[in-house]
Amino acid sequence: MELFKKGDKIGKYTVNSFIKKGAVAESYTVYGGDDMLYFCKVFDISDMAASQLFEGKEVFEIVFCRELNAEKNDNIIRYVDNGGFRKGNKDYHFLVTEFYQGELLNQSVEKDGVFDVEDAMQITLCVLNGLRHMHSKALLHNDITPSNIMLKEMDDGMMLPTIIDLGHVSYMVLGRPNFFLGDLAPFFRAPETFRGIFTPKSDVFSVGALLYYLLFGKAPWEVDLAECGDDINLIKAKVKEARKEKLVLDTEEVHIPDFLKKILKKALSSKAVSRFASADDFFNTLIDRLVPEDISNIDDLSMDEAAGKEGQPEEGHAEKQQIMFKKGSGNGFDQVAGRDELKEQLRKEVIFALQNPEKAKQYLLPPVNGILLYGPPGCGKSLVTECFAEELGFNYTILKASQFGNIYQPGVLDNLQRIFDAASLKAPFVICLDEIEYLIPNPGTDNVTKESVAMLSMMNGCAAKGILLVATSNQPEQVDPFLMRPGCIDRVFFVPQPDLEARKDIFKKHLSNRPCEEIDFEELAKLSEDFVAGDITETVNEAAMTAAYMDVPISQKILVDVLKYKNPTYSTKTKIGFNK
């Protein structure tokens, strides 16, 4: 029988509904004074052993929950409040945490079936992220199971995995656990835990079992334990016997890639020494598969893109978009004809400090967090951006915002966060945001949006993580001004129309595989002042059409005749306007 009924008070909180009764605690949903719904756990101190109380006074779960929330982690349940009271002749403590809308992982699998490989890996990464935070505090979870992970529903409809039950959190245990073992899920327990040994590697085993469950819909080596009842020794013997069999990694219904089979075997090794060294090691291995350095492995990677036809958002629709991560190893700025002034600016103001960190430290050069390359369309900003990343020699990715979506579309912020997280692991790293005015558009209001704040938190201080942002824009005035600030975008560079050398190079490339007479590229470049790449392309195409119609090679005269009546898309006046 539950302690409280709807409308009763627990401290300053009003009971809304009873959830369940556990070995030493009851769970409720409660309303706070702010009319927000919270989760509340009430502990009966008289039913708890002294070893379950911190310094014999406070419930360990409450202490640990407070400690873990000293630094925010989205993948661990959020602490709100705690307190104590006396009811009848008993003392009670209560813990209040955030109440999560959504469903438990086991409920999701039971309702909708198993997850695909990428989604299973993403969920596992989130759980490992929470565990990394716990382990950094010298704490173990000890009970990672599908029933302890909530798929929390975000404002944009995305689901965020969160570890919600901290009832078995402890310091490292070597032989005598101070928490109740009877409710631990046997098939998610590492072999050594049956001997009372709980370590970070036993948590790693549990996460491996969780990943297996997400893919196959059941725990590894799962067998029927009904005949064992509550007999711990019988359960232990049955589980041990089942694990002598070879782990099933392929079925008629489920086929997973070989790399994932190797990951599961390592995480679920019966010997702790053969498992991943830590949650961090497990996390990095999964990230390396989702974010391969070699472009030939790109089939292993896809990100959600909330975009419909022709790049427009389509409500409730999500497609898969491949995000390419490369290693800078090309010819760098040698591929950019002309533009000597711009290239020298970038080398001096950005590249030098990044390639010479000791010199930058000696001269106290401030780190560059982000740069913006802006100018009229067709001026080669995208080419300069890619060659800039190649010149640095860092890992990099290029995101075209018009295809990727903008931060107000469902899922885009989440995908960006994954990319920023992966970039920090592969630092030094360059994230190129092409057409940033589409990715982070000006909301057209004086009020700062929550999406802008979320984007700021991702972009702000990237330099400290070894990440450089390189953005391009045709219309910088259309970019959210909240993000155009030091610490986000530190430097701004104007990319002008192609200069003489660049125009010569563009003409050469467009005429190289066509039937031509001898061409004076110097004259063509001089006659095409202020032309952008698109203007030169049109010029060559029109000349080619004329020559084909006349059945003659493309000549200097035909090209010059086209240039005589063709005007540049952007005049010198436009260029000056951009330069302001």
**pLDDT, tens digit (0-9, with 9 covering 90-100), for 319-373:** 334 444 555 455 688 878 778 889 899 999 999 999 898 999 999 998 899 999 9
Give, to the nearest 10 degrees, the angle between helix 117-136 and helix 279-290: 150
- In this prediction, residue 240 carries a pLDDT of 94
- In this prediction, residue 303 carries a pLDDT of 32
Instruction: Please determine, for residue 574, whether its predicted confidence score (pLDDT) is greater than 50.
Output: no
Residue-wise burial string across 140-164, b where 16 or more C-beta atoms lie within 10 A, e elsewhere: bbbbbbbebbbbbeeebebbbbbbb
Residue with tokens 């640095």: 392
395: confidence class by pLDDT, cuts 50, 70, 90: confident
- In this prediction, residue 193 carries a pLDDT of 94
Q: Which carries the bigger pLDDT value, residue 147 or residue 292?
A: 147
The torsion angles phi and psi of 17, rounded to 5 degrees, stand at: -160, 155
Distance CA 39, CA 97 (A): 5
Stretch among 20-34, 194-208, 547-561 having the lowest mean pLDDT: 20-34
At 143-153, the pLDDT tens digits run: 999 999 998 76
At 71-100, the pLDDT tens digits run: 778 899 999 999 999 888 888 999 999 987
The torsion angles phi and psi of 367, rounded to 5 degrees, stand at: -70, 145
**What's the average model confidence in pLDDT over 531-541?**
88
- In this prediction, residue 381 carries a pLDDT of 85
Q: What are the start and end residues of each CATH 1.10.510.10 domain in the chain?
A: 102-290
Stretch among 59-63, 239-243, 395-399, 561-565 having the lowest mean pLDDT: 395-399
Is this model's pTM higher than 0.75 or not? no
Instruction: Please determine, for residue 259, whether its predicted confidence score (pLDDT) is greater than 60.
Output: yes
Q: Which carries the bigger pLDDT value, residue 183 or residue 297?
A: 183
Instruction: Please determine, for residue 158, whether its predicted confidence score (pLDDT) is greater than 70.
Output: no
Distance CA 379, CA 372 (A): 14
Strand partners, 160: 152
The torsion angles phi and psi of 396, rounded to 5 degrees, stand at: -155, 160
Q: What percent of the chain has a predicted confidence (pLDDT) above 70?
A: 89
Nearest to 375 by CA among 502, 498, 211, 220: 498
Instruction: Please determine, for residue 132, whether its predicted confidence score (pLDDT) is greater than 70.
Output: yes
**What's the average model confidence in pLDDT over 164-180?**
85
Evaluate whether the domain defined by 295-494 bears CATH number 3.30.450.40.
no
Instruction: Please determine, for residue 292, whether its predicted confidence score (pLDDT) is greater than 80.
Output: no
The amino acid that residue 76 corresponds to is I
Instruction: Please determine, for residue 474, whether its predicted confidence score (pLDDT) is greater than 80.
Output: yes
At 264-284, the pLDDT tens digits run: 999 999 999 999 999 999 998
- In this prediction, residue 291 carries a pLDDT of 56
309: confidence class by pLDDT, cuts 50, 70, 90: very low
Which one of 1.10.510.10, 1.10.1740.110, 3.60.10.10, 3.40.1160.10 gives the CATH number of domain 102-290?
Answer: 1.10.510.10
Q: What are the start and end residues of each CATH 3.40.50.300 domain in the chain?
A: 295-494
DSSP assignment string, 290-304: HS-SSGGGGGG--EE
Instruction: Please determine, for residue 542, whether its predicted confidence score (pLDDT) is greater than 90.
Output: yes
- In this prediction, residue 1 carries a pLDDT of 65
- In this prediction, residue 290 carries a pLDDT of 66
Question: Three-class SS of residue 218?
Answer: coil
Stretch among 17-21, 474-478, 575-579 having the lowest mean pLDDT: 575-579
Alpha helices (H) along 426-532: 436-439, 450-459, 500-511, 521-527
At 22-57, the pLDDT tens digits run: 777 899 999 998 889 999 999 988 878 777 788 778
Instruction: Please determine, for residue 316, whether its predicted confidence score (pLDDT) is greater than 80.
Output: no
**What's the average model confidence in pLDDT over 394-418?**
83
160: confidence class by pLDDT, cuts 50, 70, 90: confident
| CATH classification (class only), 500-579 | mainly alpha
15: confidence class by pLDDT, cuts 50, 70, 90: very high
Question: Three-class SS of residue 492?
Answer: strand
Regarding the domain with residue range 9-98, which homologous superfamily does it belong to in the CATH classification? Answer: Phosphorylase Kinase; domain 1 (3.30.200.20)
568: confidence class by pLDDT, cuts 50, 70, 90: confident
422: confidence class by pLDDT, cuts 50, 70, 90: confident
Q: What are the start and end residues of each CATH 1.10.8.60 domain in the chain?
A: 500-579
Average pLDDT, the chain: 84
